[in-house]
Structure 1
Amino acid sequence: MTNIGPGTPALIDLQTPDEDASVQFYSALFGWTIDAQNPSGYRYARTDKGAIIAGIRAAYGEATPAWTLYLAADDIAETAQGATVQGGSILHGPVNVPGQGGVLIFAEPTGAITGFSQPEPGYEFASHTPGTFAWAELLTADGKADDFYSALTGASVTQLGDGEHYDYTIWTPAGQQVPVVGRLRTDAPAGWRVYFAVDPDVGTDKVVEIAAALGAATLTEPNDIPAGRIAILADPTGAEFALLTPTPRK
């Protein structure tokens, strides 16, 4: 489970034009158990102990199918004010969601849709086990996103690569030693890429085969990076996501 401190991932959710298709796909791929719709039309995938893995919700209008990352906040109202001051545009909230806590969704200055969550007591976010959240990176053409999120969360930013040919940064929440999010400069539309952990006994290549049989498209074939073996896919509705079989820690 994630230690949900400020700036730490607290939730991921999928906006989809076809909830039933998305529920069927991810349940088959990762073995998720997914709640029936709650009164707001939202569904949660949960572990057998009740921790939240992800949310699934209907896309608004013609919104592009996509995964969204929510970072934890100590004070959701203060975060909303800060996001506005820093150039973000509030899209939803802040509101209180029973079973989760305060929630805020906004468009940040580089164009990505991002959420913040103020978890209520007892809330648990499942991560770093097979089929759950492993990593997320912000895809954006504008490195100023680093300053925006650092100002909101107090996270420190570390540059990887030369910042020109390869511009990747990692964000480490205040008081922590391990980075939790990355930012990659790309010409693609701004948005989040969410990685799901893969069981090393199964491996990324096998999960890609299973996903393809379920209707997913492979955008980037399995390949090795320092963090592990990854692949980038698009689910049957077109939402992009990634897989990561982590490199064993020495």
Structure 2
Amino acid sequence: MPQRDGYIPGVPCWVELSEPEPEAALEFYSALFGWDFEDVLPPTSEDRYCIARGRAPGSSIFDTSGELRSGDVAAIRSIPQGAPPTAMWSTYFWVDSADEAAAKVRGAGGGVVAEPFDLRSACRTAVLTDPEGAAFSVWEAREHNGARLVNDPGAVVFNNLNTRDVEGARSFYGSVFGWRTAGIGGGAEGWTLPGYGDWLEREHHPGLRRNMAEAGAPEGFEDVVGSIIPIAGDQPDLPPHWSVTFATADADATAAKAAELGGRVIVPPFDAPWSTDTYTIRVTVIGDPQGATFSASKFLPKTKESSYP
């Protein structure tokens, strides 16, 4: 199977971690996910921008080939000048024009935190917010085409909008990216982009629909680009935000390893409600040692050999 080499507009394409102490973050994520890093800034720079590269065999609902692949998965950087000194993961969405995307966001009632600018030679980008204040960025590719490795262990598998206003989010993201919503199992909802599955099967994953059907995925799952997580009423202090889920070979082992490395297991591994009769998604929520949160999940077909600790 080929690695990703670009996306279509409206699809999550890159994630980036801002940390007060990037060196400590490199150690944590290298040990947790086996990532290698390359700092792409000049040696004289006081900042860090380190590209993470992962290696993994294909083992997801998208691809069951087991073929070993490697490629860029994410970045870890110093906190940008003027930004709050908070460790956090950020999500980027592929667009044809960052300037046009910023204009669409304004027109739909969102905000522009950082006007479109060139991120070195990699892309043209902008930092934006939806009407609830959930921040995200856009990626107009120049010399970097986003994540090369996705869905496999150690790579991003889902980007999630945590929101108190699902209906408002439907209107906003539908206007900006053309997204719709659909069930993804267990009563949960996901963001879908019409035509995304056609592009995936044609360009990257021949046999995708067959693999998904055999795994018991809901109809239309091939068009899913993200998930919707309603913020519970007992979390009044949790702001709306975009979060990141990484695939893992073993969610329980990942949680244990994160704790061993100085992280915090915020939500112990559990079987997600969107699991079905034929497969289970095992998920854990983790905080790294500097406080950035993310999820790790394992897709597991239900067979007689399947078991959990």
TM-score normalized with structure 2 length: 0.72
Distance in 2 (CA, whole Å) between partners of 1:95 and 1:50 is 29
**CA deviation string 1:199-227 (max 9, x = no partner):** 2xxx1111111111001111111111215
Any stretches of 5+ residues in structure 1 without a counterpart? none
Q: Distance in 1 between matches of 2:51 and 2:263?
A: 21
CA drift at 1:63: 3.9
1:25 maps to a residue whose letter is F
CA distance in 2, matches of 1:37, 1:176: 31
Question: Of 270, 283, 301, which aligns to 1:230?
Answer: 283
1:243 is aligned to 296
The letter of the residue matching 1:184 is I
Counterpart residue identity of residue 244, structure 2: V
Which residue of structure 1 aligns with residue 162 of structure 2?
139
Aligned match for 2:175, one of 148, 151, 161: 151
1:136 alignment partner, SS class:
strand
Q: Contact between 1:6 and 1:173, CA under 8 Å: does it hold in 2?
A: no
Q: What corresponds to 2:58 in structure 1?
A: none
**Aligned pairs, number:** 243
State which structure, 1 or 2, has the greater radius of gyration over its C-alpha atoms: 2
- For residue 14 of structure 1, the aligned residue among 5, 17, 24 is 17
Q: Tell me if 1:193 matches 2:218.
A: no
- The percent identity for this pair of structures is 27
- How much has 1:43 moved relative to structure 2? 1.9
SS in 2 for 1:23: helix
The alpha carbon displacement at 1:62 in A equals 3.3
CA contact (8 A) 1:90 1:106 kept: yes
Structure 2 unaligned runs (5+)?
56-68, 198-221, 304-309
Cα separation, partners in 2 of 1:58 and 1:249, compared to 1, 3 Å: farther
Q: Secondary structure at the match of 2:173?
A: helix
CA separation of 1:37 and 1:180: change in aligned 2, threshold 3 A = same
Q: Are the equivalent residues in 1 in contact too, given 2:35–2:52 (CA < 8 A)?
A: yes
Matched, 1:42 2:43: no
Q: Secondary structure at the match of 1:233?
A: strand
SS at match of 1:114: strand
Contact in 1 for aligned 2:10/2:177 (Cα 8 Å): yes
- Contact 1:7–1:153 (8 Å) recurs in 2: yes
Cα deviation for residue 94 of structure 1 reads 1.3
Which stretches of structure 1, 4 residues or more, deviate above 3 A after TM superposition?
47-51, 60-63, 159-162
**Residue of structure 2 in register with 1:25 after alignment:** 28
Instruction: State the TM-score, normalized to the length of structure 1.
Output: 0.87
Secondary structure, aligned partner of 2:39: coil
2:178 pairs with 1:175: no
- Alignment of structure 1 residues 69-148 onto 2, 5 Å: 69-120=91-142, 123-125=145-147, 126-143=149-166, 144-148=168-172
| Aligned-partner residue type, residue 7 of structure 1 | G
CA drift of 1:64 comes to 2.8
Deviation of 1:161 (Å): 8.5
Of 5-14 and 61-70, the range deviating more from structure 2: 61-70
The DSSP-based 3-state class of the residue aligned with 2:182 is strand
